[in-house]
Amino acid sequence: MSMPNLTRDAFLGGLLHLWQPRDGYRAGVDPVLLAATIPAVSGQRVLELGCGVGAAVLCLGARVPDLVLTGVERERQYAELAARNGAGQLEVVQADLAELPLTLRQRQFDHVLANPPYWRREASVSARNPVKEAALGEQTALALWIQVAAKRLAPKGYMHVIHRAERLPDLLSALPSDMGSIEVLPIAARAGRSAERVIMRARKSGRADFRLNAPLVLHRGDHHVDGDQYNPEVGKALRSGAALRF
């Protein structure tokens, strides 16, 4: 992994810098939004499945101090970069989530988060870069991501998953029976547009009624214009790591 093949990119307005491959999958807005919605408090244990270079879990760690952070990543290059980006603050386990090591299966976490690959390859074209394809193409069934996340939760722990809006029925149907207090946050690019993403929150042994929240609208105005047009709450989450409330 040579230095010319990497870039060091600023997140959260420079509060966090991450090494990423110049070519291949690169973290964008979605993991930052995911991290912003997690109601973690200092001292809690956090696990990210498929952590990539660590964007989501490290953004959360930048907002909430003294978390115990763990990431699981199958691809060696990304696992190494996540460990480098974590600089001792993030424990990285290189493993397939379908075959987690026993040492991890014996642990429980207060929060488990995931940004699974978005594209089912029977209905889309594979990426040429094999590492990028592993990040974008659904090689492991979405239901397995949900089941593994639920198993790793401590009682009353929270699961957060971001995905395409059309996969919401799959997310909900994959939840085990002991997951409740389900909430969904739709994410729309602009007011009046259909949601393109959703964040699903569920709680181990939760008993609250299902809740479909008002959409989080990312941009002001009804069409793209030059400059930063994020709505204020979204801009604060992206630029300074502020929390986003469901």
Q: Can you list the domains of the chain with their CATH numbers?
A: 3-167+228-240 (3.40.50.150)
CB 230 within 8 A of CB 24: no
Cα separation, 72 vs 74, in Å, equals 7
Convert the pLDDT of each residue in 104-152 to its tens digit: 999 999 999 999 998 654 554 544 545 544 444 457 999 999 999 999 9
164: three-class secondary structure by DSSP:
strand
Predicted confidence at residue 119, as pLDDT, reads 65
What's the pTM?
A: 0.89
pLDDT at position 2: 45
| Angle at 48 (CA atoms; ends 205, 17), nearest 5 degrees | 140
Residue 4's alpha-carbon distances to 8, 22, 35, 172, 244, in angstroms, are: 11, 8, 29, 42, 35
Cα separation values, 93 from 90, 102, 151, 213, 232, Å? 10, 12, 17, 34, 36
pLDDT level of residue 4 (50, 70, 90 thresholds): low
